[in-house]
Amino acid sequence: MIELRTPTQIEQMRPAGRFVASVIKALSEKADVGVNLLELDELAHRMIKDAGAESCYIDYHPSFGASPFGKVLCTSVNDAVLHGLPFDYTLQDGDLLSVDFAASVDGWVADSALSVIVGTPDEKDQWLIDVTQRALDAGIDAARAGNKLGDISFAIGSVAHAEGLKVNLQFGGHGVGKTMHGEPHVPNDGRAGRGLKLRPGLVIAIEPWFLHTTDEIEFDPDGWTIRSADGSRGAHVEHTVAITDGDPIVLTARD
């Protein structure tokens, strides 16, 4: 069921957005050569505890997961792009790291993701991150009352296709509110003018993710970590966005 939030409820979601943004920022600053993925998870865990927030991940167990997730954030490295289960891995120079984090504050959820290069920048990887960020920006700009859901998807996909990237439609954005994943599903490609009419009060996570040379994916044996089928690297960015009578509100903005 698609739920619309009142202006008061959207204001009540702001603390969750600010908290998630602060954790994503802290994780991106902590990520460096020699840092273990489990250290990043522990940092997020401490921040959750200190803020009196609740993890959306640790007990999460959808149909595709081999078991409850068991950690409080996703860390996807290089050819892993989504749902990376943190494990005993020490970041290396040149790794492409994507961190995805969602939490509940006072009963409201926010969800965000960011990709960074660890250590020495790589031109191709930075290009992929930049394209993915531009696709997110385009999707957010299309998230306006009176538009259709397909306008968001079309805006995202158009950026990818203009750069020669393929788009996977198995995973995309989603509704956000009292729970992390709700309706509607927000594909990262689609046709303009099609689908659900966007109305004030709709809150969605918009999350483009692209791979360098494919749109095909594989799951690790852990049942969670999603990798490119051909070993190419991926980038993933995400914001929680509220649609209003005017400009969209990026609840997880990190500025």
- pTM, rounded to two decimals: 0.96
What is the Cα–Cα distance from 179 to 197, expressed in whole angstroms? 22
Residue 2 lies in a domain: no
Kindly state whether residue 15 falls inside one of the protein's structural domains. Answer: yes
Contact call for residues 180 and 128 (beta carbons, < 8 A): no
Residue 161 lies in a domain: yes
Q: What is the CATH number of the domain that holds 246?
A: 3.90.230.10
Domain for residue 174, yes or no? yes
pLDDT in tens, 37-83: 999 999 999 999 999 999 999 998 877 667 899 999 999 999 999 99
Domain-embedded: residue 120: yes
**What is the domain extent for residue 89?**
7-250
Beta partners for residue 109, in sequence order: 104
User: What is the radius of gyration, based on Cα positions, of the chain?
Assistant: 17
Mean pLDDT for the chain overall? 97
Number of independent structural domains in the chain: 1
pLDDT by residue (tens digit) across 180-233? 999 999 999 999 999 999 999 999 999 999 999 999 999 999 889 999 999 999
Q: Is residue 158 in some structural domain? A: yes
Q: How many CA atoms lie within 13 A of 66 on its CB side?
A: 10
Phi, psi of 47 (to 5 degrees): -65, -40
Residue 113 has pLDDT above 90, yes or no: yes
Residue 1 within a domain: no
CA torsion sign for 114, 242, 244, 199 is positive
In a domain, 183, yes or no: yes
